[in-house]
Amino acid sequence: MHKKLSQLADIVSGYTFRGSIENDPNGDIFVLQAKNVQTNQDIQYITGFTTITDKSLRNPYFLQHNDILLVSRGSGPGSFRSAVFVSDESKVMPSSSVHVIRIQDVTVLPKYVSLYLNSEIGQKELLQIVTGGSYIQSILVKNLIDFKIPIPPIHIQKSIIALHENITDQERILKRKQELQKNIINASFTNLINN
């Protein structure tokens, strides 16, 4: 069964700043930008985020745990990255380069939606609703509202998430194995040269 995102979630665009966002080391509000969103990597830590103290912000929209973030501007497949905000930090606001999808339907898991958006099929579907030229394209909230995604039963959503986590763990183990093999080779040459 396919459902429109608007049937499952509230969808908003991040805050539009006038000009570039200047980092204030004494800032107490963290700004999440497109550069902070990596494909299928939950956002748990806010290290490296720009901070601001702008008291003139009217009703800043702060992120909540399990909000889905979608990069709103890009230039082709894979550039409209999605991640889930899993931090407990309370004063993080998105910039306009990110849309926020806040799931309201308890039968839909945010991680499942984010994985779908990042999938090859999800990215192809997102490209059908972009606006703009061939170089920089944008996804508008009004187009995202009608975006349809397949919603299987929750146990299938959980299985897809578990499969993704298993593959991610295997990739991490393989990368670590390759690093160890490289270190063994390097140590062998170091020992050879020193003897």
Collapse the DSSP code of 142 into the 3-class scheme (helix H, G, I; strand E, B; otherwise coil) and give the result: helix
Predicted confidence band at 130 (pLDDT cuts at 50, 70, 90)? very high
For a pLDDT cut of 90, what percent of the chain falls above it? 59
Mean pLDDT across the chain: 90
How would you class 60 by CB atoms within 10 Å of its CB: exposed for 0-12, middle for 13-18, buried for 19 or more?
middle
Predicted confidence (pLDDT) at residue 29 exceeds the cutoff of 80 = yes
Q: Which of 104-108, 139-143, 156-160, 184-188 has the lowest mean pLDDT?
A: 184-188
Q: In the structure, what pLDDT confidence band is assigned to residue 59 with cuts at 50, 70 and 90?
A: confident
Tell me what pLDDT residue 93 has. 93
Give the pLDDT confidence score for residue 190 in this predicted structure.
82
Nearest residue to 35 (alpha-carbon basis) of 24, 25, 21, 56:
21
Of residues 36 and 58, the one with the higher pLDDT is 36
pLDDT band per the 50, 70, 90 thresholds, residue 36: very high
**Is residue 112's pLDDT more than 70?**
yes
Q: Mean pLDDT across the stretch 120-138? A: 90
Q: Is 125 exposed, middle or buried (0-12, 13-18, 19+ CB in 10 A)?
A: middle
* CA distance linking residue 94 with residue 96, whole number of Å: 7
Distance CA 115, CA 81 (A): 10
**pLDDT value of position 177:** 87
For residue 63, pLDDT over 80 is answered with yes
For the entire predicted model, the pTM comes to 0.85
Cα separations (Å) of 70 from 27, 97, 145, 153? 25, 9, 13, 23
What pLDDT is recorded for position 77?
A: 79
Between 133 and 140, whose confidence is greater? Answer: 140
Position 56 scores a pLDDT of: 66
For residue range 140-158, list pLDDT tens digits in order: 999 999 999 999 999 999 9
